[in-house]
Amino acid sequence: MVGAAFITSAEAAEILVSSNISTSTTWTANNTYNLQGQIYVLPGATLTIEAGVVVASDPGGSLAVSKGAKICVLGSQTDPVIMTSKADVATWAPMPGHPTGKNPKTGTWREAANEWGNLTLMGDAFISENATAGNVPTCDPDNVAAMEGLVADFPGDTKVLYGGGNDDDDSGTISYLSLRYGGKVIGLGNELNGLSLGGIGRETDIHHVDIMNNVDDGVEIWGGTACLSYFNIWNIGDDSFDIDQGFRGKVQFVLIVQGYSLDASQGSGVGDNCFETDGAEDSDWQPVTTTVVYNATVIGQPIDGDQGTAWRDNARVQYRNCIFMDLGEDLVKFDNVDGDGANGYGFNGTLSWADTWTTDWNAAPPTANDCPPGTYTAQTNGKLAEIRDSVFFRNLKGGGTGLVTDPAYAEATARGVFAPGNNNVFIPGFADVDAPITSITRAAPVVKGGKTMLQVVSLDPRPQGPALERLDDALKPNIFFDGWYENADYRGAFAPGDTWLDQWTASYAFGFTTTTGSWTNPGCDLKGQHGQARLIGSGHAADGEPVLISLHNANPNAIAALFLSVAVGGVPGIPFKFGTLKWDALLSPIVVTTLPEGNLPVAFAWPSGIPAGIELWAQWGIQDPGAPAFVALSNAVYATAR
């Protein structure tokens, strides 16, 4: 049960959680919760956390979900679950009536971490860990490991163990969770990450997770098959996204913004690798990391940042539809081993580093210790290691040249990343106007942990330019052929006009990523000689607000027509209608010709008198040069007026 003491004030009841949770428990949004030391959800119990709950803990407070237990974090975009420190809450603006007395959508960024612990989940899926006595190098349900950052109460304490033989294990749900200012150092190499996932199975739902200022990794995954989407990871003190011990799940939509959390050495306060991928604890053990990362936007530290992708111990990763920019070191770094006594690529019959990049996903078993059929399901085409359909911009090593010959790309070039068949895009130059994202602003240089840091203080990560060019249709993520991936015909973590960061993230609360108008594309894309065009809308759909509607990647020099219309529904006293709007100097439809590069922007302001709640539509029709008249090539975006 929960050990609790109540502190009553005009706004709130604070519940001090001081003992392990052994029976199913619900935390409600009318209270705040303060973790007192390391708290476990024990096997057989489920902890449910309602939308809007704030867990603001004292130093040392931390939460771990043992194997056989579940957690259900039921946050939403408007009411996320926030796990943070009391020092963070102290920076929030006053808000009478909220359980904390503060507004959780405000706050001030601080150079801080280690102010509470973290959230750890432990499950029953396969792992590969050679340091545990009795473990074997095959996929064995008896293989287990003790979770990093946790301390057993006695020898054989099972509540700190993860791993097993059920890749379909279900540890619960995590939805719209913001983790801030966490971490705890137990000892050298034994620290708490922002979110730790050990042996988590694919039936666990994990999406919309925000991690700000952790002393160790942002998220670290040991084995298992969990599928993760919509991760926002900022200012991490070590690796932003770390994979170990045979992870075989799927990843889509990740924003990584490298920086620092503390004035400490790199790896303990200053960011290290953006993606760090270890295959197995020894490279010939099973299972081995075999995964796919779709739609990541990776923003490094341009002077003293570390690698974009680091590879060790036979890891097999496909990066697709990604943006890598402002890295201070290598795009691809061949680390080979993790320094813990492993043997690296090519050991005991495993593929060499070079061969991993040229071998089909299903052409060779990982080792002679291969696992049963069905163990590896994330990759379904391509090579075991690859970077495809991605954009590279301003990645500079040792001063850099801004060219593809920059040392930052040396290993990537050797591994064939820039081969034409990979459909990657290199952007030469240095200017922000050439960036594949909309905008980025950095603070003045500071030295932290002996490294020069340029902290990101404002970011609009929506894609532009080459990030919107045509992808390889055969390799695009598609819910119809997979059942989990979302359709995404763009590079990076964000669809045109959509940030998915509003309201619930620390970066939004601190003013790093602000609200933008979210225009949705229904998916009816223009098909033509210039590939797959897309309509983008930006700006708030509100009375008198300026709006920009842009056509990208369309047929060049083609006749086009813009139709502006309004669908009114759900507003009392106003009947539903659908028609063409005309106002000011803007006539509808407008017949124009697309630019030679296949783009066309139209800027205007919404007319006055548009009621909140109505749907506003913009649609393009375009004439294919090979067609005798306007044909059924149309593309639309819509937004709801505020």
Q: Where are the domains of the chain?
A: 113-482, 525-640
Cα 407 to chain centroid, rounded: 27
CB 636 within 8 Å of CB 578: no
Type of residue numbered 381: N
In the predicted structure, residue 577 carries a pLDDT above the cut 70: no
Instruction: Please name the residues in contact with 327: beta carbons below 8 A apart, sequence gap of 6 or more.
Output: 274, 298, 300, 301, 302, 305, 307, 308, 395, 396, 397, 408
Distance CA 241, CA 233 (A): 8
**Interval 198-255: pLDDT, tens:** 999 999 999 999 999 999 999 999 999 999 999 999 999 999 999 999 999 999 999 9
What is the Cα–Cα distance from 433 to 423, expressed in whole angstroms?
A: 22
* 49-54 average pLDDT score: 98
pTM, rounded to two decimals:
0.86
The pLDDT value recorded for residue 563 is: 64
- The whole-number average pLDDT for the span 444-470 is 92
Q: How far apart are CA 603 and CA 608, in angstroms?
A: 16
526 phi and psi angles, rounded to 5 deg? -75, 130
The helix (run of H) or strand (run of E) holding residue 480 is helix 479-482
> Residue 620 — very low, low, confident or very high, per pLDDT cuts 50/70/90?
low
H or E segment and range at residue 392: strand 391-393
What fold does the segment set 525-640 form as a domain?
Immunoglobulin-like (2.60.40)
Per-residue pLDDT tens for 213-227? 999 999 999 999 999
Share of the chain above pLDDT 70, in %: 79
Query: What's residue 402's pLDDT?
Result: 80
* Residue 527: predicted pLDDT: 42
Average the pLDDT over each of 207-216, 412-421, 451-460, 519-528 and give the range with the smallest value. Answer: 519-528
596 pLDDT tier (thresholds 50, 70, 90):
low
- 412 or 546, which is more confident? 412
Q: Where does the pLDDT of residue 642 fall: very low under 50, low under 70, confident under 90, or very high at 90 and above?
A: low
Rounded to an integer, the average pLDDT of 475-494 is: 82
Residues in contact with 339: Cβ distance below 8 Å, sequence separation at least 6, in sequence order:
none
Contact in structure between 116 and 176 (CB atoms under 8 Å)? no
Of 103 and 576, the structure prediction assigns the larger pLDDT to 103
Q: Comparing 34-43, 147-156, 167-176, 600-609, which segment has the lowest mean pLDDT?
A: 600-609
- The strand pairing partners of 85, in sequence order, are 57
pLDDT of 313: 94
Whether the predicted pLDDT of 309 surpasses 80: yes
Examine the pLDDT at 258 and tell me if it is beyond 70. yes
Q: How far apart are CA 542 and CA 545, in angstroms?
A: 5
- Give me the mean pLDDT over the 417-430 stretch: 93
Give the range among 85-94, 128-137, 486-495, 589-598 with minimum mean pLDDT: 589-598
Is the model's pLDDT at 603 over the cut of 80? no
- Decide if pLDDT at 373 tops 50: yes
Say what percent of the chain tops pLDDT 90.
Answer: 65
The angle subtended at Cα 143 by Cα 137 and Cα 146, nearest 5°, is: 120
Residue 533: both structure tokens together: 């065009």
Question: Around Cβ 534, how many Cβ atoms within 10 Å?
Answer: 25
Distance CA 460, CA 438 (A): 5
Using pLDDT thresholds of 50, 70 and 90, give the confidence band for residue 330.
Answer: very high
Mean pLDDT along residues 76-98: 96
The SS3 of residue 444 is: coil
The answer to whether residue 445 scores a pLDDT higher than 60 is yes
End-to-end CA distance of the chain: 45
pLDDT at 491 over 50: yes
pLDDT at 553: 63
pLDDT at 574 over 60: no
| CB-CB contact of 127 with 246 (8 Å) | yes
Give me the pLDDT at residue 588, please: 46
**Which of 320-329, 418-427, 590-599 has the weakest average pLDDT?**
590-599
The token pair at 195 is 């979110």
What pLDDT sits at residue 483? 82
**For 532-573, how does the pLDDT look when each residue is reduced to its tens digit (9 = 90+)?**
566 777 666 677 777 777 776 666 677 666 666 655 544 443
The confidence score (pLDDT) of residue 564 equals: 64
Structure tokens at 484: 């989990």
Tell me, what's the pLDDT at 214?
96
| 414 confidence band (pLDDT: 50, 70, 90) | very high
297: enclosing H helix or E strand: strand 290-299
**Top-confidence residue, 536 or 334:** 334
